[in-house]
């Protein structure tokens, strides 16, 4: 939908609809009372692939005032859906002023996946056990360790088997 449009949607009183554009990647972390209470782990990425390439940059610092002294880190995330094959790139972390948020775990939720069987690769190597598929939500969940280096996730639907 282009800007300036209108959506008419009949919503139930007990359910609030949330509209998310194709290509959105939404990072979330653990619940905290203040920003430096604990490490940002796991870092959950809610990914809604689209045909057009999308990206965003995550900015992290010590949760206090490190950014004012140039002490922070950035990580760029990219996603594209090409004919049902989704590629998510977590670029290598860029540390500035020596800031390193440390190792963490990523939980990547890929929404809008209607098929039931997928091939999942991390850096061109098959991922066998670290992912699940939830048919009701049409969502693939992938859990990966992050050491700050580049990660390329490739999610490809497998051809449906014909029953005899």
How do the domains of the chain map onto residue ranges?
40-157
Could you read off the pLDDT of 8-46 as tens digits, one per residue? 888 888 988 888 889 999 999 888 887 777 777 899 999
Q: Name the more confident of 57 and 10.
A: 57
Q: What are the backbone dihedrals phi and psi of residue 36, each rounded to the nearest 5 degrees, phi first? A: -110, 25
pTM: 0.86
Could you read off the pLDDT of 124-159 as tens digits, one per residue? 999 877 899 898 999 999 999 999 999 999 999 886
Is 109 a residue whose pLDDT tops 90?
yes
Query: How buried is residue 109: exposed, middle or buried, by Cβ count under 10 Å (0-12/13-18/19+)?
Result: middle
40-157 fold: Immunoglobulin-like (2.60.40)
Q: Are the C-beta atoms of residues 59 and 131 closer than 8 Å to each other?
A: no
Could you read off the pLDDT of 71-81 as tens digits, one per residue? 999 999 999 99
Strands 94-96 and 118-122: unpaired
Is 160 a residue whose pLDDT tops 70?
no
* SS3 labels along the chain: CCCCCCCCCCCCCCCCCCCCCCCCEEEECCCCCCCCCCCCCCEEEEECCCCCCEEEEEEECCCCCHHHHCCEEEEEEEEEEECCEEEEEECCCEEECCCCCCCEEEEEEEECCCCCCEEEEECCEECCCCEEEECCCCEEEEEEEECCCCEEEEEEECCCCCCC
């Amino acid at each position: 939908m282009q800007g300036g449009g209108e959506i008419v949607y009949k919503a139930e009183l007990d359910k609030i609809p949330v509209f998310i554009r194709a290509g959105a990647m939404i990072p979330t972390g653990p619940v905290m009372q203040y920003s430096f209470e604990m490490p940002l782990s796991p870092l959950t990425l809610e990914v809604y692939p689209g045909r057009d390439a999308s990206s965003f940059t995550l900015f992290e610092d010590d949760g206090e005032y490190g950014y004012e002294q140039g002490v922070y880190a950035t990580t760029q995330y990219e996603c594209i859906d090409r004919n049902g094959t989704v590629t998510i790139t977590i670029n290598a972390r860029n540390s500035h002023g020596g800031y390193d948020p440390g190792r963490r775990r990523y939980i990547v939720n890929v929404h809008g996946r209607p098929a039931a069987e997928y091939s999942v690769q991390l850096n061109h190597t098959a991922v066998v056990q670290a992912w699940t598929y939830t048919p009701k939500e049409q969502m693939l969940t992938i859990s990966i360790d992050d050491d700050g280096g580049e990660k390329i996730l490739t999610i490809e639907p497998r051809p449906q088997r014909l029953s005899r």
